[in-house]
Structure 1
Amino acid sequence: MQDLRNCPECDRLFVYMGRNLCPRCAEKAEEEFRVVKEYIRKYPGATVIEVAEATGVDELKILDWLKEGRLISKGLAKAAVFYCESCGTRISEGRFCRRCLDELNKAVTQTVKALKGEPEKRSEPGESRGRDRMFIKEKDARLGSDDDD
């Protein structure tokens, strides 16, 4: 059975296919995105408010595109304030800071390898990994040995 929903923009009934907008509103949103993208290319230092006023596109849509990572602009980033959804660090685009993205990518890679049955990479002999070093304590000759009896 198909999933029927009402479009949050126009309230029309539509068959949900992965995007929460009806086909008309989805096309309209893509056209607005193209207009904003063109404006940003032409005026790279423009702020969110300037872009919204010049293009007629709602500021919240522009901010959503920034947060989704679809738009990247130094001018837009100045006005936009987002926080990493993992650690709370202030960021200017996307949902996660670089450090949390790196940790997430590492965890996903390890999980995929584990699911595929690939063993974790072990260090080669002589390769130092910091805390995983072995030390051999030699017996001090001055203390004598048990073999001297």
Structure 2
Amino acid sequence: MSMNVQNCPRCGKLFVKGFAETCPACVKDIEAQYVACADYLRQNRKCDLQELHEETEVPMRQIIRFIREGRISIADSPNLTYPCEVCGNPIREHTMCDSCRQRLVRDVNQMMDEGKNNANAEKDAHHFRITDRLKDRH
């Protein structure tokens, strides 16, 4: 029987991997950071991400992770936004702003159309038309 051990991606210590992605010490630290953020937000509903980061000393990345995981709700915090993963504009839901999402959809549709056109061109190149064959007879 082999033990599933790995280095903690957060602190580098060796630990037996279970349900958590990090070592037990880091799990406790992350939970303490979550409690600090949640407590501060209960008292200061109008704070923004920068203020929450400065007052709790929790890294912005971790706060954003709490929001994306649904552990911190921004519904009651009107000024709390986080950056779009593509352009960095402030957003309140998802991982991309509407303009980046629309651009992505447009680009994907364009690539799919180009792929269909290329497939049709290849299909036409491999097949002959009867009219082409008849032209050669004259």
> Percent of counterpart pairs with the same letter?
26
Matches within 5 A, 1:1-149: 1-73=2-74, 74-75=76-77, 78-82=80-84, 92-93=92-93
For the residues of structure 2 that align with 1:70 and 1:82, how far apart are their CA atoms? Answer: 19
One-letter amino acid of the counterpart of residue 11, structure 1: G
Deviations 1:54-84 (A, max 9, x none): 011001100011011110124376421457x
Deviations 1:94-148 (A, max 9, x none): 669xxxxxxxxxxxxxxxxxxxxxxxxxxxxxxxxxxxxxxxxxxxxxxxxxxxx
One-letter amino acid of the counterpart of residue 23, structure 2: C
Distance 1:91 1:54, change over 3 A: closer
SS in 2 for 1:75: coil
Distance 1:57 1:65, change over 3 A: same
For the residues of structure 1 that align with 2:16 and 2:78, how far apart are their CA atoms? Answer: 34
Give 5+ residue unaligned stretches, structure 1. 84-89, 97-149
Larger radius of gyration: 1
TM-score (norm 1): 0.53
**Displaced runs of 4+ in structure 1, greater than 4 A?**
none
For the residues of structure 2 that align with 1:63 and 1:70, how far apart are their CA atoms? Answer: 10
One-letter amino acid of the counterpart of residue 8, structure 1: P
- Contact preservation (8 Å) 1:7, 1:21: yes
TM-score (norm 2): 0.57
For the residues of structure 2 that align with 1:21 and 1:76, how far apart are their CA atoms? Answer: 32
Give 5+ residue unaligned stretches, structure 2. 97-138
Match of residue 132 from structure 1: none
For the residues of structure 2 that align with 1:18 and 1:47, how far apart are their CA atoms? Answer: 32
SS in 1 for 2:77: helix
Number of matched pairs: 90
- Contact preservation (8 Å) 1:3, 1:15: yes
